[in-house]
Structure 1
Amino acid sequence: MPPLLTSSSVPALPLAAWSRYRLRVAASNAASAPDGAGATARCTSTGGFPSFLPGAVERIRDGAAIRLAKRIERVPVQASRFLPIYCAVVRSNAQWLSLNLSYLHLQTSFSGSAISSSCVRPLKQQQDGDPVVLLHGFDSSVLEWRYTYPLLEEAGLEAWAVDILGWGFSDLETRPPCDVASKREHFYQFWKSYIKRPMVLVGPSLGAAVAIDFSVNYPEAVSKLIFIGASVYSEGPKDMTRMPKFVSYAGVFILKSLPLRFLATRLAFKKTPNEFFDWVQIGRLHCLLPWWEDATVDFMIRGGYNVINQIKQVKHKCLILWGEDDGIISSKLAYRLHQELPDAILRQVRQCGHIPHVEKPREAAKHVLEFLARNTSDKSDQSPSEPSDKSDQSPSEPSVVVNR
């Protein structure tokens, strides 16, 4: 098994001079956290895992996933509810008079109503530098960051990994709505309660659509954006909005099935990893929570994400990171996204599939660090970076590409 999956710490990542002076925090230092911090949210089982995780977590053998899973906690996030109101609009001219009813949403917050929301918090929050907040892809969880999170943390970044409402390991016993607007407002309440300052928002796959939607609606909460294998040109599962619910539940049941998860995992990576079955189990773990089906159906029958018209509204500096051999999202869309964003650079990860932060974590971390070190974004620097001779290494020792 590669060293990254078995060792108790991650080997040091070569850093730019700007970050060498910063505090180096190792994931293995979790024991140094203040006594009682997050005690309620981190009640542990006999294996040291949080008690709210499905029992199948005990069968995971991936060392990096085990370490990150033990750091997952739930924190209260103020719930928002959306009440439908009807607004009458009168249109008239000399020929006609019509009355249109438009369906609007009025957001209201109810004191005392909170969702126990899952995340991995930094061991120490910093006063200088922007926090880096890691989202995940469609129907995934914070465990997607099991390899790259420790590297960013060791580099001295204040890194957060956050489960998007409806996925991951949050407590959704009350079955809150999980449509796009609810996901956005839930994440905003999380940011407002715990992060409280502009952040570097990282969105892989569908998480890129989440990041775009959030940054356009709350630009003051974001300093920079990083997209990895961005899935931002889909118009959402429109067909499911017209389906009977029982058909939607049947589709979601298949989505959770092992055969489909095996296929999805195979498509996501350039090479089939030795830990293939374990990776499938990790990616499927959150599906074993009792409210997963309801939350997923609720999201899909409401239409999902459609951010095509929001892309050009993004004003932040952006990094677009793409796997050269992405078998899920065409690389043509990476170039399209680069052209449509006003202030973006594009970097390509050689011999890598859809999820560079899992398949090539060192390279992904290196690109993130270099992007954060840039004082200005040079739009003329458009071409993907050239690979080093080590681009065919295993996930535990990915290549380092130097940007030009």
Structure 2
Amino acid sequence: MPVLAVAPARCGGSSSSINKSLGTVFPPFLPKEVERIVDPSARELAMRIQRVPVKLWRSHIQRPIVLVGPSLGAAVAIDFAVNHPETVTRLVLIDASVYAEGTGHLSKLPRLVAYAGVALLKSIPLRLYANLLAFNKISLGRSFDCVNIGRLHCLLPWWEDATVNFMVSGGYDVRHQIKQVKQKTLILWGEKDRIVNTDLALRLHDDLPNSVLHQVPDCGHLPHVEKPEFVVESISNFISGSMVDRPTSSALEAVPPS
């Protein structure tokens, strides 16, 4: 069964093990078409981003897929699964950032200020700090590796325009779409995620009745990078139907469902 990952570029290191274990895995996509949008609405932007996996599905896959969305990629995955249900048989959402109101107040920034903020995202100190938040445990050497890999997309000539357009558009707001998801869904969540609160894992599990929730032990916001073997095994078991719901852990038990 083909597996397609839609994820914001951040850090490499897990794709080879996933490819070996899951077989047909297609790479993440970057929404290059965003650069052509001038003051777009959030919906227009979402539709443009959707075209990339739709084209890929029609040209190369042509059968139902397992769609994997880590972090903000989970919002893309939910939007895609709701609007193109014939293409997606199952969803995997990893530390999903799906309850935010898009880009919020950032959408009201003057474009000059927005460009200055986006340029800051290339900063090595800022990205090193982000790694401290994103990972549970990471060595300085590996952190620099992740920074160097994670900055590659920032150096593309269209990246700043695309990111600013995404920001001022309002970004992704899929809160109203979550309960429209019909596909069976696996929710994976890092036990020590310091970027997206673990209470949202239980909220998402509650909003998706046809879902199973597994926590990734001793892991931060990026289980597919920090614990790729665990993620691969979980997805494999989910696809084969041998996985049972296992939401309880010391961190999740302490948080009541929303």
TM interval, short-chain normalised: 0.7 to 0.9
Q: Match of 2:121, SS?
A: helix
Contact 1:134 1:160 in 2 (8 A): yes
Distance change (3 Å), C-alpha of 1:244 and 1:233? same
Q: Match of 1:226, SS?
A: strand
Distance change (3 Å), C-alpha of 1:156 and 1:235? closer
Question: Please, which runs of 5 or more residues in structure 2 have no aligned partner?
Answer: 251-258
Rg (Cα) greater in structure: 1
Distance 2:233 2:148 in 1: 28
Structure 1 position 371, deviation (Å): 0.6
* Selected match of 1:383 from 243, 247, 257: 247
Contact 2:188 2:216 in 1 (8 A): yes
Return the letter of the residue paired with 2:109. Answer: M
Question: Please, which runs of 5 or more residues in structure 1 have no aligned partner?
Answer: 1-129, 167-171, 387-404
Contact 1:347 1:385 in 2 (8 A): no
Structure 1 position 384, deviation (Å): 4.0
Structure 1 position 208, deviation (Å): 0.3
The answer to whether 1:132 aligns with 2:3 is: yes
Aligned equivalent of 1:209: 75
1:13-162 correspondence to structure 2 within 5 Å: 130-137=1-8, 140=9, 144=11, 146-147=13-14, 149-155=15-21, 157-162=23-28
Deviation string, structure 1 residues 62-92 (Cα, Å, up to 9, x no partner): xxxxxxxxxxxxxxxxxxxxxxxxxxxxxxx
* Selected match of 1:199 from 40, 62, 65: 65
The answer to whether 1:260 aligns with 2:126 is: yes
Give me the CA root mean square deviation.
2.0
Structure 1 position 383, deviation (Å): 2.8
The answer to whether 1:290 aligns with 2:161 is: no
Return the letter of the residue paired with 1:341. Answer: L
Which structure carries more strand by proportion? Answer: 1
Return the letter of the residue paired with 2:3. Answer: V
Return the letter of the residue paired with 2:35. Answer: R
Aligned equivalent of 2:30: 164
Contact 2:4 2:28 in 1 (8 A): yes
TM-score of the superposed pair, with normalisation by structure 2: 0.88
Higher RCO structure, 1 or 2 (CA under 8 Å, sep 6+): 2
The answer to whether 1:176 aligns with 2:42 is: no
Structure 1 position 184, deviation (Å): 1.4
* Selected match of 1:337 from 204, 211, 214: 204
Contact 1:315 1:342 in 2 (8 A): no
Return the letter of the residue paired with 1:269. Answer: F
Contact 1:180 1:299 in 2 (8 A): no
Structure 1 position 187, deviation (Å): 2.3
Return the letter of the residue paired with 1:249. Answer: Y
Deviation string, structure 1 residues 125-177 (Cα, Å, up to 9, x no partner): xxxxx20011213xx16xx4532x322332352111121314xxxxx6x9333
Deviation string, structure 1 residues 204-244 (Cα, Å, up to 9, x no partner): 00000000000000000101000111000001113232222
* Selected match of 2:112 from 246, 259, 265: 246
The answer to whether 1:305 aligns with 2:172 is: yes
Contact 2:29 2:52 in 1 (8 A): no
Distance 2:249 2:87 in 1: 30
Q: Match of 1:227, SS?
A: strand
Contact 1:209 1:232 in 2 (8 A): yes
Deviation string, structure 1 residues 326-348 (Cα, Å, up to 9, x no partner): 01011100010000002000001
Deviation string, structure 1 residues 166-202 (Cα, Å, up to 9, x no partner): 4xxxxx6x93338222101232122222221110000
Distance 1:195 1:372 in 2: 17
Q: Match of 1:155, SS?
A: helix
Structure 1 position 382, deviation (Å): 4.4
* Selected match of 1:271 from 130, 137, 152: 137
Aligned equivalent of 1:374: 241
Distance 1:350 1:134 in 2: 22
